[in-house]
Chain A
Amino acid sequence: MSSKTAIISSFIEAAPPGELSNVVADIKTLVGDDLQSYEPAFRKYHEEQYTAVDVPGGSGKVLLSQYNSLGSNRYFDPTSGKSFAVSFPSLKTSDAESHSPATSNLDLIQSLQTAFSKSTIEHFPSSTIGVFPTGSDIAILIVANKYSPQNFWNGRWRSTYILSDSGKLSGTIKVDVHYYEDGNVRMQTEKE
């Protein structure tokens, strides 16, 4: 049987879209209020689910992902040229500094960000885009959430595209839907 930390961490990572706070409240009732030891689980959840946070001292939101992580809970945003700290589980952002990502594609990244933000409005009622350098490639991330807890359902769409140096584009789309009126139904799909 796994350790308590492993068990609680797996619960955090499996939380359905829009219901992390409910899962956390349940965990607190079962094992107490101290959640600091589960910080890695929270970080993993937010990086995998492309959670959007406010850029401190700036406007707009930026996604948290493995692609824009600088380690030690710091992330960067190519659009505003800043890096900042995020604390888990509260998701408060702070300590903004100016940051130039080590990539030759900065212009391309910024224009992709603007272009995508305009075009996704045609298909996504509400979404957040992130374009980040990853090695010599560029990662394009789209996350769209729709929460309707009063109707007992929540959903999340995550697209991850990698534009390689040679101009090749590949990606994965993941959709996670949870419906829980008088029951518990979960659909998780992944398409390349």
Chain B
Amino acid sequence: MSDPFDAALDLLRRLPPSQTQQNLASIISIAPNLEDDLLSSVDVGLAVKRCPKSGRDYLCCDYNRDGTSYRSPWSNDFDPPIDLDDAADLVPRGKIRRMEEELNKSIDVYRELYYEGGVSSAYLWQLDEGFAGVVLVKKSSGGAGKGGWDSINVFEIIEATSKRSAHYKLTSTVILDLGLRNDAVGGLELAGNLTRQEELDQPLAGLRDAEIESSHVANMGRMVEAMETRLRNLLQEVYFGKAKDVVGDLRSIRLLSEADQERRSHKEVISKMGGATI
């Protein structure tokens, strides 16, 4: 009997990705003991909340959540407010908070350049060795053709003892949802998620803390940009290319007997060429 957690993850990988949120809730309702593990390992579409202090939108995920409260990266407060004792552990300060603020600013610029809209947020937290973070971007569009892009980039960073460089580990997931309904096509639903990983050592410029912090932010930003571009191209290839290939395998456009005939004459030509002496 395999492990229920693995079974739940496998199930979520087979059921339609456009319903991952509902399916996750359903699985938790029939296996409540898996709730915490599943919520922290399954990527679902991101929710948007408005920060009451700054008036800006931010994205909600497991990393800025405490119970039902979420922390805004703009004001650094939990909404609804949480216990002060818990806040001491969960609200970042000092170096982590400074980097988090700078990271949010850069990702904001990145988002406007590549997405021309949408919402972005970044959260960082201290680890025993090094620190970790997540960069989130979300964009939706509606109309006859609806679409939604959610990207979740999770970082793990360990500084070298010399502080001249750091090791960056990035796991990125893009959740893409496309739908089109018109007379020409009928109804089309194409949804899914792809995950890729990257590990890189990058240099840290400067000797003072502020310079090192800026280096980290620049390195992380560069990695996110490269990874998201890669994923965007991969998605195009996989979503449309692969789906088209499979449909072609199910039913061919041209007559199969013609295709067979062509293959056989190709083989004949090649074998004749192979027999000829040069």
Q: Which residues of A contact B (CB under 8 A)?
A: 1-2, 4, 7-8, 10-11, 14-16, 19, 22-23, 25-27, 29-31, 121-125, 144-146, 153, 155-157, 175, 177-180, 182-192
Q: Which residue on B lies nearest to A157, using beta carbons?
A: B250
* CB-defined contacts of B2 to chain A, threshold 8 Å: 25, 29
Q: Which residue on B lies nearest to A143, using beta carbons?
A: B250
Q: Which residues of B contact A (CB under 8 A)?
A: 1-4, 6-8, 10-19, 23, 25-27, 29-31, 185-196, 238-239, 242-243, 246-247, 249-252, 255-257
Once the chains bind, are B29 and A184 in contact (CB under 8 Å)?
Answer: no
* CB-defined contacts of B193 to chain A, threshold 8 Å: 183-185
The contact of B242 among A23, A157, A179, by CB within 8 Å, is: A179
| A178 in contact with B29 given A26-B8, A185-B192, A190-B187 (CB within 8 Å) | no
Once the chains bind, are A185 and B190 in contact (CB under 8 Å)?
Answer: yes
The contact of A30 among B4, B16, B19, B195, by CB within 8 Å, is: B4
| A185 in contact with B239 given A122-B256, A155-B246, A157-B251 (CB within 8 Å) | yes
Q: Which residue on A lies nearest to B190, using beta carbons?
A: A187
Q: List 24 contacting pairs A-B, 8 Å CB cutoff, sorted by A.
A: A2-B26, A4-B30, A7-B30, A11-B23, A14-B16, A23-B11, A26-B7, A27-B11, A29-B2, A30-B4, A30-B7, A30-B30, A31-B30, A122-B255, A123-B251, A155-B246, A157-B250, A157-B251, A175-B247, A183-B194, A185-B238, A186-B16, A188-B189, A190-B187
Once the chains bind, are B26 and A146 in contact (CB under 8 Å)?
Answer: no
Once the chains bind, are B195 and A183 in contact (CB under 8 Å)?
Answer: yes
Measured in the bound complex, the distance between the Cα atoms of B8 and A185 in whole Å is 17
Q: Which residue on A lies nearest to B235, using beta carbons?
A: A185
- List the 7 closest A-B pairs by CB distance, nearest first: A185-B192, A191-B186, A29-B7, A183-B194, A26-B7, A155-B246, A26-B11
The contact of B250 among A10, A155, A188, by CB within 8 Å, is: A155
